[in-house]
Structure 1
């Protein structure tokens, strides 16, 4: 046990005052049915044990020992050199929260005087095993006036205002430092990780206006997907990477299209149609386009597509019906087979984890696949992370079909808000609409639409 005592010229007087204080408090506590023991300057501060032996940021840590005193305001606890928040203290027990980045793990208790000067000090012999964990933070975006206002402007992170809508996000497959953010009917933004800037991208002519998705073909063309309500009108527009996505190279008719996604292996593009409930198949090499390649069980549905990195299957998020379907890929026929329900119940918007029809969702929108090391060697090595927009959270769908909450809804209350921190205890979102996996930086990015920020979920530094 390591300890030190600080000598004062008036230590005797201090001790007498402490004794008087102890007697006064003791009498008061006796009247209230309890007894408190103040710090005794003539004795060492002892940390004899603590529990748990390991944990991460925000965990509660209980210290056992002697001579901690009874005043939390005069007790300082550090773990790994980082100051911990003291919750309660008695002479023999002390509760505190584990601080962030407490990697070194050494536990120290310091008793302070009324001026914040050290009176005594004790250190545990055993090291606390700090475990890093995933945390929610803010990557880019700013608001003001209590999160009610924001500016739209280009500039470096920290001075670039907020973002709008963020209905879909996609990384340039040829440049992992460039993230394209669909602003719906508002401004489309470009997040440049190399320069740490936020910019704007604009489209002219038929491609301008309310946009549902910005996505990419297998060879890196940018697809701008618009919801056009008439037949014979262009709804998907293709822009060349060589022109920095300013030159349109082709466009196709696509009435009611809400999404378009490229097969990662064979390159054909799958689209959705709202009014008919169709999923179409477009072949870029030949220009062949069959809008009704796959028929969903319902019409008037807002479908969004996420195709597995291996191309073996895709998930279809039916946002307005609160369900997720799956369609498996036939590599011989080069198309997807008939979709089947994976989770949720038709038009039953609510919140519930579970499997299959027991799950309840409320506007699932974009999702992404993330490799899980625990599945190494299995047929499917990926979990699916998706935003449950009206439930204000991020959820996961495992290969076995189980849905569970991943981030947001602290205490299960489902309230909106903005807060970083522990994924389940602190993090809050406000209509998260999009999500992507940043493979280069190994983190999830969430388009938190009504907080006007891109949020980040990553292992703490």
Structure 2
């Protein structure tokens, strides 16, 4: 006869223990539930005993601990540093809220309201919250047009200067930090005057301007690259400072399809890329000699170039092939040497943070070196490289070791758009191409080319008066 498996009965002492534990658990859960549902009692004081964390920036979560907060979000108001915080949860002994923007003062006040929204009672913490300013994306200059056909191009003051098509390359005047110039390919180049707060045309007389650069001599005349398509025409011109950048003379070398130029910051020679020839050439102002510096691995490619402040190396940004190469400088021979890949993979567009060839880019354009104070104690290269990753609609950052991360953009869903705010969770760009960094103001300016406006990345400013909350 087949034996059936039987479950052994639980012994009596164990049954008693299980019943007791179950009862205790039920009682405890009921007590906790009662605590959570208790409403505000006007006969008792509202008390704040503590809060956590003690510091943070806009968007951070804050928990206030205490007594008699009630349980109605609509009747609980939290003000931090003079700014109303969003309350996301209330229990009788705790309040959950989100740190508002520009809560600089750090004082925390909780108010309980009646059905009409009038304040019944308020209480303030003895300790202040330490507000940490965050980097945010904002709209700096130009008008955003939701309907593209309404686009208007014009000169004018900052609050009425239209919009800007085709922004390609930003360049600060090395002798006047209040002047920021930008080229715009087939479109109008401009001068942004921060002192006068005025935007004017920068008239070159060329049909297509790629990049702007500056000589190293005492005058520091401007170098304007004319991206033209003839092998018997000049590609680079000197616009004299003495003429206020009106008069120009060609650098006497024929050059077709110039997309990138750099000036060595120590020795002053000019390097420029040629699109169809697929090479980098070196021009010596002192001798007038023009020669090949090195060939590029690919021809028919737009190569933008940015030199390190030390002059020790430069980055070649291979726009059409979606990767970045590095070329090191030979001080003995006074020339840059054969480049090698530092980030991305040639011909493989995409989006991925990572190191070296594991990273993926999609039409990178202008970049800028920015000193990183965190590197000072370790010695070595002190600069990170920030660049516009056009078709990823983002600003990327590269360390000296070639580690790529996303600094700003891609919004909440990784697509293009137009939105200000937190660098990663809120901000969106559309095909950014141009970038400049103002060391004195510690801020970035971004040519948000697809949106026809200039964006700014900077820490929150305390220029506005604290809002009243009464």
TM-score (norm 2): 0.87
1:16 matched residue in structure 2: none
Query: Offset at 1:146?
Result: 5.9
Query: Offset at 1:362?
Result: 0.4
1:48 matched residue in structure 2: 49
Matched residue count: 425
String of CA shifts for 1:371-398, please: whole Å, max 9, x gaps: 1111126121111111111001111111
Describe how 1:130-141 pairs up with structure 2 within 5 A: 130-141=131-142
Contact kept? 1:344, 1:361, Cα under 8 Å: yes
1:224 matched residue in structure 2: 224
Spell out structure 1 runs of 4+ moving beyond 6 A. none
Q: Distance in 1 between matches of 2:152 and 2:41?
A: 56
Describe how 1:138-287 pairs up with structure 2 within 5 A: 138-145=139-146, 149-204=150-205, 208-219=206-217, 220-251=220-251, 252-287=253-288
Q: Distance in 2 between matches of 1:230 and 1:203?
A: 18
2:11 matched residue in structure 1: none
Describe how 1:62-461 pairs up with structure 2 within 5 A: 62-145=63-146, 149-204=150-205, 208-219=206-217, 220-251=220-251, 252-290=253-291, 292-376=292-376, 378-411=379-412, 413-461=413-461
Contact kept? 2:86, 2:100, Cα under 8 Å: yes
User: Higher mean Cα deviation, 86-95 or 338-347?
Assistant: 86-95
Contact kept? 1:216, 1:223, Cα under 8 Å: yes
User: Higher mean Cα deviation, 417-426 or 340-349?
Assistant: 417-426
Q: Distance in 1 between matches of 2:145 and 2:277?
A: 43
Q: Distance in 2 between matches of 1:145 and 1:374?
A: 41
String of CA shifts for 1:203-222, please: whole Å, max 9, x gaps: 22xxx112211222223222
Q: Distance in 2 between matches of 1:167 and 1:277?
A: 20
Change beyond 3 A, Cα 1:129–1:146: farther
TM-score (norm 1): 0.88
Contact kept? 2:208, 2:228, Cα under 8 Å: no
Q: Distance in 2 between matches of 1:50 and 1:236?
A: 62
Contact kept? 1:147, 1:451, Cα under 8 Å: no
Query: Offset at 1:171?
Result: 0.5
Structure 2 unaligned residues grouped into runs of 5+? 1-29, 462-470
Q: Distance in 1 between matches of 2:150 and 2:85?
A: 34
Query: Offset at 1:405?
Result: 0.8
Contact kept? 1:44, 1:121, Cα under 8 Å: no
Q: Distance in 1 between matches of 2:43 and 2:154?
A: 62
User: Higher mean Cα deviation, 230-239 or 330-339?
Assistant: 230-239
Query: Offset at 1:191?
Result: 0.7
Q: Distance in 1 between matches of 2:427 and 2:387?
A: 16
String of CA shifts for 1:292-345, please: whole Å, max 9, x gaps: 321112212110000000100000000110000000001111100110000101
Q: Distance in 2 between matches of 1:344 and 1:385?
A: 15
Aligned to 1:178, the other structure's residue is in SS state: strand
Query: Offset at 1:441?
Result: 1.7
Q: Distance in 1 between matches of 2:147 and 2:98?
A: 28
Contact kept? 1:169, 1:215, Cα under 8 Å: no
Q: Distance in 2 between matches of 1:410 and 1:49?
A: 34
String of CA shifts for 1:245-277, please: whole Å, max 9, x gaps: 110133442112111111111111110011122
Contact kept? 1:52, 1:61, Cα under 8 Å: yes
Aligned to 1:390, the other structure's residue is in SS state: helix
String of CA shifts for 1:354-375, please: whole Å, max 9, x gaps: 1111010001110000111111
Contact kept? 1:349, 1:362, Cα under 8 Å: yes
User: Higher mean Cα deviation, 293-302 or 303-312?
Assistant: 293-302
Query: Offset at 1:400?
Result: 1.6
